[in-house]
Every structure is written in structure tokens, then in C-alpha cells.
Structure 1
């Protein structure tokens, strides 16, 4: 299974903020550190804020902080929220599958998808930044703070 880019970014933002400590990086700083366009990350941050997983404050002294709900959030729930409940394959698209009424593959793929999500359900954001990952993330994020600003164009 391949995750959407927004799902990957959401998980990486949560991980980054989980090791931020007292600092509150801005969306632009996180985008620059991840080497992703600001506009893409801003959409992901807005969704994470809407889900209650992070706080985003504007202006002087502002920035992004992980909420307690964000630290204990299930990785499976985050992935489900960003991936949606759609089927793995589109059997009813522009050219509907002729096996649609008697296909067993669709059900098998759906069960596999649900097993994938279920395997992530007990894992929390806090779990995925436990040592040694947390220390490495912190080192990487400190190194990217000195990076030169880049343009928002993709």
C-alpha cells in the first residue's frame, strides 16, 4: 500500500513537533526543514489543527506545538483520516470492471487495507519518536534551522 503525500507529511510534522520540546517552529521552518513546498505543508498543518493534534499560533511568539491529543494520537487514526475510507482499487470508474458483480478481489483488498490500518492503531505518535528516533529527529531539525530560505514555488 502506498500512502498519499499528505499522509506522509502529516506523520512527519507530528514526529517533528513531538521532539520540538519548548521550541515552537513555524510552518515555514518545518517546510524548509522537510524540503517541501510551504503551501503543501500549510494544508496539512491546517488539517492537523482541525483534528486537534496541534496548535498553530500566528505572529510574534507563534508557531506550531503538538497537543497532548497529538502526542497520544493513534498513527492508524491519523493515516485513516488522511487516506480516507475509499477502496484500494476503483472498480466503478470510467471503465467499470466487468467482474464487479462477482469479484472477490475487492473484498480481499479491503480486508488487507483494514489489517494495515489495524496494525497501526495501537502505535502512537509518542511511540514512533521514542529513542533512537527522537534524538535523530532533534539533530536533523536543529541542522535544518540554519538552512537558507527557499521559494514557495514547486
Structure 2
């Protein structure tokens, strides 16, 4: 019991909050797709990494630079469901037409200590990639959900 209370006391105050101080700047932003690579998703995982890295760079451009902690986004799951051009089923929405990107943002200091952990799941319409029969549709879907994830992460961390 005493050891547990000492551990909590050693954690920075904002590590217990869901948001960061509004003036927070990051020394770097990295995307970790290790969990996807471990499942054998090699080239696909690298596509997810590239798209999410680009989306985070756009959404956090004003928050990078200086000696602050790093923002590491660990992607733990991606699901692009089959999409055959229909958004409704029997007049209502169809949850199987959704794409998902799941992960967690870690704010990590220079010593490697995790200061804040923010899990997040993004869901977007599978139709975001345009015509399902277009070979480029899947890449556009990954681009779209990466941008969605990055924008909501900024809000989730309280940096808007």
C-alpha cells in the first residue's frame, strides 16, 4: 500500500489527467506499428505508419520543436471492412461499413518514462476512399482514417 502511494506521488501531475497543459510542445512525434508488424502485416503496417506520421505532422505542426517530451502513437489495430458500395441496410446504418484505427498515444520523457497514456479508437465510413472498385480506394481509406485519428488525438490531449 505504501509503495503504491509512493509510485503515484512520483508521477507528474498531468500524467493522471486526460489532457496536457495547453503550452505543451513535443521534441518529436513518432508512430509505432510494432503490434501490426508482430501480426505479420509488414508492408501494410508501413503504409499505416507513413499515413499516420504525415497526419500527425499536419495536426501537430505547431506543437513540435524544443526539449519537451516525445509523442509516440502506438497503433494496436486497423480494420478496413469490405465495402461494396452500400451505406444502408434496410433503411438504417450498417456498422460493418466502418473502418477502425485503434491505438494509444504515449507522452514520453527523455528518460523513457511514460508521462501520459491516452487510448483512442477512430471509426470512419468505409466509403471514405471513394469508389470501392478503384484500386486506390484502400490507400485513400487509410489516409482518411489516419487524418481522423490525428485530429481527434489533438482534441483528446486537450491541445485545441
Task: Identify whether the pair has TM-score above 0.5, normalized to the shorter chain.
Answer: no
Structure ranking higher on relative contact order (CA contacts 8 Å, 6+ apart): 1
Answer 1 or 2: which has greater helix percent: 1
Indicate the TM-score class for this superposition, using the shorter chain for normalisation.
under 0.3
In the superposition, the TM-score normalised over structure 2's length comes to 0.24
In the superposition, the TM-score normalised over structure 1's length comes to 0.25
Answer 1 or 2: which has greater strand percent: 2
